[in-house]
Structure 1
Amino acid sequence: MEQFLVDLGDHTDQTTKQMLQNLINKRIKYNRYKNLHFLMLTTAFVFGLFVFYFFYRTTIETSTNSILDTFSIFIKKNHFLTLFFVAFTLFGSVKVIFEKKEKYEKEYHALRCEIIDKSKDLWKDDKWKQRHRVFEQMKNKYDINLYHQSK
């Protein structure tokens, strides 16, 4: 559990601390997949441009204006097939990572909204006056806004 959650003491009960810890974990996973998606998308795009440029320079510029000549050169040289396979695999992995990123974003947002909706039940009586400390720390340390439900 995060140190600032342990340091809250009696201002927040154990269930609320566990919910906040789960929210932090989901935010970290979402950020990880978001960064991984950006990295993979950039890599796939650059690699795709490289493969296209390499294919264009070696096949299309050197062959005559016949599509069959271009296709026969493409089939004869196995490295073209390998490069195109790697490029399609990269773009496929970008799609898979994007779906995981979307899944974790939905889970994170749902849990965040649940905490916001139940905040009156989680912080009762005199604890309600201390909840702003938790909200500020969550906002400052993890960029998690617990004041409003909008993204």
Structure 2
Amino acid sequence: MTPERLSECLRLVRWDQDTLAQAVDVPSLSVTAWIAGTEVVPRKLAAWIEALCFVHEAAEETKPFTSGEGFGDGPRQEFIPVYAYNLLRSLHGGKVALRTLFGTDDEGAVYFLVSRDLAVREGGHLMITDAGRAVGSMRI
């Protein structure tokens, strides 16, 4: 495998040098040397990378027709930790006194909700915002 082909394969699978090094459990300097052409890419590794590249190219060729509409500039979806979501659901029923919340889990949940404008602190209470109401209104 030539250094150029290795670079092309990494581009196709959207990996950087460190990702390859981690995947095959070698030092990053080895990958750097392979790409620079100062060391030969081991034969087994070259075959593995070619197979990975082949599968990735085949997957790219069979993308569903919905692909290509663009990622857009809309809001990015974010995972809400379960503990924070449970607190958000509690806030849906009314404000919660901050003195009733304690421990690092509660602190983390409050920080998460307030930092994302899903809840606000007012006095000694935590209250839900309109954005939080929209997220926490899922019916079960």
State whether TM-score is above 0.5: no
Which structure features the higher share of helix residues?
1
TM-score bracket for the superposition, by shorter chain length = under 0.3
TM-score of the aligned structures, taking structure 1 as reference length: 0.23
TM-score of the aligned structures, taking structure 2 as reference length: 0.25
* Structure with more contact order per residue of length (Cα contacts < 8 Å, sep ≥ 6): 1
